[in-house]
Structure formats: structure tokens, C-alpha cells
């Protein structure tokens, strides 16, 4: 029925109308074709919420769900499917038909700024969670957009760098989640990455988009570019890119019409691309949706409960001497830079304006009462200075010279903005200037630090004196998706309770790759020894110290990789000092990936909480107090040192890249595969996570059944309270002519058991679980021979082992 209707519609269109569907009308939507009764397709950013059509800053409020790595740590596709269904509700509330999610790139390095947004270092775990997410989302009529296809495992020079990846590595690792999303979950859309693959932009890569995606996998949905990630007319059309985003058209529109008329692009190719877009519109109901976009802030109780439950399910108890769970402590010192600040999400296009934010302090205060708690900040951990609070007055000029009368005047809640499209008063976000003024009353005396970041030109004055400048000296850095300068720092001596006049001048400049302008001005008073001393004293007086440390969205963010995996600032020093004062010190980590832990032997427990969404503090309190189990298992290996990672190399082309190339020299040996290969034990292995109860696994059975290998094991809760365990199955290879990992995750199941309860867990492994990819022959190969089956609770804790014999070799096409 859909096919007949859209075939009729596409053939009733003029060439210009077909072309109009192949690029955005604006940042978030496609044009309607009123003559044929065709509505407008609308999209919104994900994956940990649905922001809507507003800016990355502010806008209509939305529910903030746990980030990708936190969902990866749940090892629970059913839970992730629930979240997908809830996100469909969120997308509908924002008037959207398409959610730009999930992100399924792998954790190649420990320092990728966007690891927080991705599920795992392992392709099988990522694939299973992606399938759950997509089925939940698309089951409610909202399209998933699987991203970023492919080779976007770093944020360094991501819009231009070429990822050099061998086809075997692609097929066995990086393509696996995308393949499952298409073949098993039936994803309706795929987004290309910014980077090049083997020298060719993925948005114009025929092998990737046509041969693999549509040919090998049978994809029939829409392939869209990442925002501003399309760079040509004919090459993208011929390669298989359906949709250039955002709009208005840059390389499509009249240029595409001219390319057809010149014979560079056949009319049938335009028809095929338009047909794909119409199919997506039919699947999502956009074909007949003529309503104006309405965005609602729906704070649903059921979503609150789901976010809180999912947050606890993803938290990983890394280490504990029995201090956790806390049993009605009389006094708790809540310490650290993340104690009273709710770190709920990473940075970049995944960020949104949450309905609310619950900090660890808030969660513990609600659970125990404030009278049992004391607080100490301890030290700072932010990458940038705290954003200057408003209200501020912004005068907008429709030129870059701050000349004439302002075309609009508006209030800013704080000194940061992110602008695209058309501003109030009709000024273009790519060609305007602004004068921003306000007042600041210093709460304390001291030498304050002024921080200035801009995707544009800017300067800051306090009482008429210039204190920071990025105008004449502006140089491109890593902020604002590599469109802004690195933060410029200045100083201002301020007196307590005195009010100062603030003036910020801003003007746009030509963008490097992405079409927007942005500004952030911060003002902070750095902490020092006195704050650490205060934390030590608070810990000494308390029964237990909970130290809330980690990173924030300025570190874990799209657009920039991390400089390393040490805790920023003086946080390690803070932990050491607090632990020396109180042996019952519990460290709550909030990061988007691993950190070095030289202080580990001196603390009582470590809980990795990730960025668990708007209910962060409540979920953290639930786990600390034993009201919920720490249900998570590591989706990424935690090395003891950054130098132990797979991509740490003296060859900069391996990482972070050199001369426009990043070479995936390690091949299939990332994460736990790398540690097994080189024999370096990790700090915490892939799959690791402790529980508040104990489990046993026994009675392993391996049997062949109809072309599958069935692995069965009995899991038993041997402890005194209910809990969950993840049964993990790894396959060791038969002899092969190429190096293969010592073991690879090929199946898993999360089981919840009452005290004393046992359950038989059975997992079927297809032939693909035993195969490698032969790039020369372009086919999958399963050698004849004996394969090992290892079962346990992490890549380094596999107490059960068996084997399966493949009596004959097999080969098959991708």
C-alpha cells in the first residue's frame, strides 16, 4: 500500500519538487509540497532525549535519559527498548517524526570525546542494545537514525580526517552495530559521519552507501548527511546520499537541477532518492502531517521513574570492601565538585534543556534528610570557567560592525548563546553582531578568572576595562565543535558585595565547516588548599564520606577528545586526602569513560555512575543506600594507565592522526581484545561489575542445533538479597591463517534472581559468531576446527569452559 502511494506521488512531481525533498528546508525540517498534499518531515536530536527544534542552549524543556555508555552498562536490550519507546513519546511532544539516534560507534580509544554517547567497545553488545533501542522507538512510529556511518571514533579534525580502516576490521567491528540495526531492527534512516573513509567522505562513498548498506544489507530507508557533512552535488547523489542536512540547500536545490540538465546526474537517480524520502515520510506519518510544529514540555511521571530505574541499572560497582550499601548512616560528608552539581549528560548535539536536575546532594538529602549531611566542595573539575549568570541584555545588529540601530533586543538568562538560521529581527546567524550588557555582584573578594570562548569574534569588559579578548587574536581551537577558539583567560580583582558593569561584544566570522555562531563567557573564583582542608575536616567528622568526582559536559563532549584519562584538576589529591581522614570513603565517579585510579587501594568503594540523566542524584542515592542494586557491568575496559590502551602509540597517525589521516593500525584488537593480546591486565576488565549479592554459574552445556550452537548454563543467586547478573559468553577461535582475538563476546543475558533462585539460561550462537572476514575474497569464513566456549561474568572472569567442533569449513557472502 505504501509502495503504490509513494510511487504515484513521486511520478506526479516535477523535477524541482523531487529535488526539494533531498535537502532540508531549515535546520530541522524538510519542505512540504502543498500541491500534492505532502506534509513536512521534522527531525530532532537525540539520543538521550528529544531536544526539539531549538538551540543547543535553552529551549523547550525535555526529559534527559541516561547517556549511551550508561545504557551500554545495563547490558539490557529490553530496558533499552523501553527507553526507545519513551523517547518516541518525547519526539512526538517536540513535533518530530525522526529522532537522530542511536549513536553506535565503538570505543576505539579511552579519550574519544563522544564515547559517552556510544554504547560500548564491543560490537556485539552495541548491536544488541541498538536493536532494542530501534525496535522500541520505531514500534511507536518514530524513525531511528543510526549514526555515524562509519569510522567516527574520534572528535579530532572529525570533519576532514580520513579514517584508514581495513575492510576486515570494518566488517568484524565497526560495521556490526549498523548491520544489526538494518538487518534485524529494520532501521528507517542512517546518518553518515563527517569524516572520510579511505580518503573519500562517507557522504559520497559508493562502496559504503550502495554496495554495503543497500546491496549487502538490503537497506531501503533514508541516508542523510550529518549537519553540514555533505560536500558535493553529483558525487553524493551517485554514491547513495538521499538527504542533505540541514537546509536551505547548499549542494542540492538549483545546483542539483542543473546537474540533471547537464547529464551529470540521471533523472532516475533523483527519483530514487525522492522515493526513499517519501517512504520514510509514509512510515512516520509525515506524508499527511500538515500541522504547524508545536513543541511541548511533557514531564511525565512514568518517564521520571524509568530514568531513575535505568540510571541505577547502569551504575557499576567497581570495588567495595563491604561498606556499600550504606545502612542508615548517622552522618555523611558529601564532598567534591560533582556533589551539589548534577552532571546528567555529556556535551554537544546530545545536550538538552532538562526538566530538572537532581544532584547527589539532592538525592541523599531526600533519602536521609539534610540534617545528616555536611557538604564541602573540595576542588574544581570544570574545563571552562562557570558561565556568567544573567539576566543580560542583548542588542542584535544586522551587520558585523555593531553599527546603526539594533534590529532586536532580547534578554539572555546567562552569558552563552548558540545561533543558527535567522535571529529575532531578521538578522542572519552567520552575519550579525551583538552588544551584551549586564551586572555582576561578586559574592567573595579575590582575583577572579574570566573565560571567553567564541565561534566568532568577542571581547569582554568589566567596568569599561577589557579583561579578555578573542577579536584581533582569535585563533581556531577545539571549542564549539572545533569552530571556536580555545578558552581565552583573563583576570579581574573583584570585591565582595560590589556590583560591576559587564559588557560583551560579539561579531560573526566565516565558519570553518559548520554553519553557526556561538559564545560563552565565564567568571569564576578558583578553589585552593583551603577548600581541600575543609573537605578533610568534614570527612573526619562524618561516619562516611561520599566523594563525588569525575568530569562534566565540558570534558565529555562532541567536538573535542580528552587530553588523557587522569581526573581533571586536583580531584585525585582530594580523594587521597579525604581517604586518609576517613577510611570509609566511597568514591562516586561521573565520567563518560575510564579514569586512572592511583588512589584505589585507599578507598572503601568506587561506584561508576556515568551521566544517568535528570534523576542522577536519586539513582545514585538509591544505589548507595541499597534501595536499588548496582545493576551495571562495564561496557568498556578500564586500563590502569592511558599508555595501556590499544591506540597509545608513538606514531601519531595511529592516534590522534597526522596529515589528515588516522590509521586503525590495531585492527580488530581494541579494548579487551588488545589486553588479551599484549598480556597487560586492565584496572577493571570489560564486563566487570560487583553486586550486593553473590552468584554462581554451573552446568555448562554446548550443543549443535540446526546450524546454531546452543550454550546453556545455570545461574544461581547464592546471596541474601535479590539482584541481577550478566551471563557472558565468549568464543575462542580455531586455528586460522590470520591473527584472531583470544576471545570475543558473542552472547549475553541479564538475569534477575531472588535469593536462592536458580535459572537455566540458554543462548543460541549463529555461525557468524565463529567466523572471521576474508577481505581478499570478500566473504565470511568459518574454519574447521575446535572453538572454545567460555562463560562467566567478565572478559577476565570466565570460570566455565567448553568447546564446539566445526567439522567442515564454511564460506558465505556478506
Q: Quote the cell numbers at residue 211.
A: 554496495
3-state percent breakdown (helix, strand, coil) of the chain, nearest 5: 25, 30, 45
The single-letter DSSP state of residue 385 is P
Transcribe 670-729 into DSSP letters: -THHHHHHHT---SB-TT--B-SS-EEEEEEEEEEETTEEEEEEEEEE-SSS-EEEEEEE
Active-site residue identified among 45, 122, 226, 644 = 226
Tell me how far apart the alpha carbons of residues 151 and 170 are, in angstroms, rounded to a whole number: 8
| Burial grade of 395 (CB within 10 A; 0-12, 13-18, 19 or more) | middle
Query: How far apart, in Å, are the Cα atoms of 441 and each of 109, 494, 496?
Result: 43, 9, 8
* Pairing assessment for the beta strands 389-397 and 408-414 based on DSSP bridges: antiparallel
Q: How many CA atoms lie within 13 A of 741 on its CB side?
A: 26
Contacts of 479 (CB under 8 A, 6+ apart): 453, 455, 485, 486, 487, 520, 559, 560
Q: Helices 616-624 & 360-368, crossing angle to 10 degrees?
A: 50
Is the peptide bond preceding residue 125 cis, with omega within 30 degrees of 0?
no
H or E element, residue 459: strand 457-462
Sign of CA dihedral 676, 677, 680, 686: negative
CA angle 675, 680, 681 (to 5 degrees): 85
H or E element, residue 72: helix 68-72
CA angle 514, 519, 521 (to 5 degrees): 155
φ, ψ (nearest 5 deg) of residue 693: -130, -175
The residue among 122, 110, 117, 193 whose CA lies nearest residue 647 is 110
Q: Quote the cell numbers at residue 476.
A: 581556531
Identify whether 289 is a catalytic site residue. no
Contacts of 268 (CB under 8 A, 6+ apart): none
Contacts of 486 (CB under 8 A, 6+ apart): 453, 475, 477, 478, 479
Tell me how far apart the alpha carbons of residues 176 and 234 are, in angstroms, rounded to a whole number: 29
The single-letter DSSP state of residue 489 is E
Per the CB < 8 A criterion, the answer to whether 72 and 99 are in contact is no
φ, ψ (nearest 5 deg) of residue 495: -105, 140
Which active-site residues does the annotation give? Answer: 226
Amino acid at each position: 500500500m505504501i509502495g503504490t502511494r509513494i510511487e504515484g506521488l513521486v511520478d506526479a512531481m516535477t523535477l524541482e519538487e523531487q529535488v526539494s525533498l533531498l535537502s532540508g528546508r531549515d535546520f530541522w525540517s524538510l519542505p512540504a509540497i502543498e500541491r500534492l498534499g505532502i506534509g513536512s518531515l521534522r527531525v530532532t536530536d537525540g539520543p538521550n532525549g528529544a531536544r526539539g527544534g531549538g538551540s543547543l542552549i535553552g529551549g523547550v524543556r525535555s526529559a534527559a535519559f541516561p547517556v549511551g555508555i550508561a545504557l551500554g552498562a545495563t547490558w539490557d536490550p529490553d530496558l533499552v527498548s523501553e527507553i526507545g519507546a519513551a523517547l518516541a513519546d518525547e519526539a512526538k511532544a517536540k513535533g518530530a517524526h525522526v529522532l537522530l539516534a542511536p549513536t553506535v560507534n565503538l570505543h576505539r580509544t579511552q579519550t574519544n570525546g563522544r564515547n559517552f554517547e556510544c554504547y560500548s567497545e564491543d560490537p556485539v553488545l552495541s548491536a544488541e542494545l541498538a536493536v532494542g533501542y530501534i525496535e522500541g522507538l520505531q514500534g511507536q512510529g518514530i524513525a531511528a537514525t543510526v549514526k555515524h556511518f562509519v569510522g567516527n571514533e574520534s572528535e579530532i579534525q572529525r570533519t576532514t580526517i580520513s579514517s584508514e580502516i581495513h575492510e576486515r576490521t570494518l566488517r568484524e567491528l565497526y560495521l556490526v552495530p549498523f548491520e544489526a540495526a538494518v538487518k534485524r531492527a529494520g532501521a528507517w534512516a542512517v546518518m553518515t559521519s563527517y569524516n572520510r573513509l579511505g580518503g573519500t567522505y562517507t557522504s559520497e562513498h559508493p562502496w559504503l552507501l550502495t554496495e554495503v548498506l543497500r546491496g549487502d544489507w538490503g537497506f531501503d530507508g533514508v541516508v542523510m548527511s550529518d549537519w553540514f557533512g555533505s560536500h558535493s552535488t553529483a558525487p553524493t547523489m551517485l554514491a547513495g546520499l538521499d538527504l542533505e542536512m540541514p537546509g536551505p540547500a547548499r549542494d542540492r536545490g538549483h545546483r542539483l537541477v542543473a546537474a540533471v540538465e547537464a547529464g551529470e546526474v540521471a533523472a532516475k537517480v533523483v527519483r530514487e532518492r525522492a522515493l526513499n524520502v517519501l517512504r520514510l515520510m509514509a512510515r512516520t506519518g509525515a506524508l499527511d502531517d500538515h500541522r504547524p510544529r508545536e513543541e511541548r514540555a511533557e514531564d511525565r511521571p512514568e518517564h521520571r521513574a524509568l530514568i531513575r530505574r535505568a540510571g541505577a541499572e547502569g551504575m557499576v560497582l567497581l570495588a567495595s570492601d563491604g561498606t556499600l550499601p550504606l545502612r542508615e548512616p548517622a552522618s555523611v560528608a558529601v564532598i567534591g565538585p560533582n556533589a551539589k552539581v548534577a552532571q546528567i549528560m555529556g556535551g554537544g548535539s546530545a545536550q538538552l534543556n532538562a526538566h530538572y536536575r537532581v544532584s547527589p546532594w539532592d538525592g541523599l538529602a531526600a533519602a536521609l534528610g539534610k540534617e545528616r549531611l555536611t557538604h564541602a566542595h573540595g576542588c574544581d573539575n570544570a574545563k571552562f570557567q562557570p558561565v556568567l549568570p544573567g539576566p543580560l541584555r542583548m542588542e542584535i545588529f544586522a551587520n558585523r560592525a555593531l553599527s546603526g540601530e539594533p534590529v532586536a533586543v532580547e534578554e539572555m538568562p546567562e552569558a552563552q548563546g548558540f545561533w543558527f538560521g535567522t535571529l529575532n529581527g531578521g538578522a542572519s546567524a552567520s552575519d550579525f553582531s551583538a552588544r551584551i550588557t549586564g551586572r555582576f555582584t561578586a559574592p567573595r573578594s579575590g582575583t577572579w578568572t574570566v573565560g571567553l570562548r567564541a565561534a566568532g569574534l568577542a571581547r569582554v569588559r568589566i567596568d569599561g576595562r577589557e579583561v579578555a579578548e578573542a577579536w584581533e587574536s582569535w585563533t581556531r581551537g577545539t571549542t564549539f565543535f572545533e569552530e571556536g577558539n580555545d578558552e581565552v583567560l583573563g583576570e579581574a580583582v573583584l570585591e565582595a558585595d560590589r556590583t560591576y558593569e559587564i559588557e560583551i561584544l560579539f561579531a560573526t566570522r566565516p565558519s570553518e565547516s559548520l554553519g553557526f555562531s556561538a559564545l560563552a563567557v565565564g567568571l569564576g573564583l578558583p578553589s585552593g588548599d583551603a577548600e581541600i582542608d575543609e573537605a578533610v575536616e568534614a570527612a573526619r567528622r562524618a561516619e562516611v564520606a561520599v566523594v563525588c568526582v569525575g568530569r562534566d559536559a565540558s570534558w565529555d563532549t562532541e567536538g573535542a577528545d580528552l587530553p588523557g584519562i587522569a581526573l581533571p584538576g586536583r580531584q585525585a589529591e582530594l580523594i587521597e586526602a579525604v581517604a586518609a581522614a576517613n577510611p570509609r570513603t566511597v568514591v562516586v565517579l561521573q565520567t563518560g569513560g575510564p579514569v586512572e585510579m592511583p588512589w584505589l587501594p585507599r578507598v572503601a568503594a568506587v561506584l561508576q555512575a556515568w551521566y544517568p540523566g535528570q534523576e542522577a542524584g536519586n539513582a545514585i542515592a538509591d544505589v548507595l543506600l541499597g534501595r536499588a542494586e548496582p545493576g551495571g557491568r562495564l561496557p568498556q575496559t578500564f586500563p590502569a594507565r592511558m599508555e595501556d590502551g590499544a591506540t597509545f602509540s608513538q606514531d601519531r597517525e595511529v592516534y590522534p592522526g597526522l596529515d589528515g589521516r588516522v590509521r586503525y593500525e590495531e585492527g580488530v584488537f581494541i579494548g579487551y581484545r588488545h589486553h588479551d593480546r599484549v598480556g597487560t591486565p586492565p584496572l577493571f576488565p570489560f564486563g566487570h561489575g560487583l553486586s550486593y549479592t553473590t552468584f554462581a554459574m554451573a552446568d555448562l552445556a554446548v550443543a549443535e542445533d540446526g546450524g546454531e550452537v546452543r550454550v546453556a548454563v545455570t545461574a544461581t543467586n547464592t546471596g541474601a538479597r535479590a539482584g541481577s547478573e550478566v551471563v557472558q559468553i565468549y568464543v575462542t577461535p580455531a586455528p586460522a591463517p590470520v591473527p584472531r582475538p583470544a576471545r570475543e563476546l558473542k552472547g549475553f543475558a541479564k538475569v534477575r534472581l531472588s535469593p536462592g533462585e536458580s535459572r537455566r539460561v540458554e543462548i543460541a550462537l549463529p555461525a557468524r559468531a565463529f567466523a572471521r572476514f576474508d577481505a581478499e575474497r570478500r566473504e565470511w569464513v568459518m574454519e574447521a576446527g575446535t572453538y572454545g566456549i567460555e562463560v562467566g561474568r567478565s572478559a577476565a572472569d570466565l570460570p566455565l569452559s567448553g568447546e564446539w567442533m566445526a567439522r567442515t569449513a564454511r564460506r558465505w557472502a556478506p
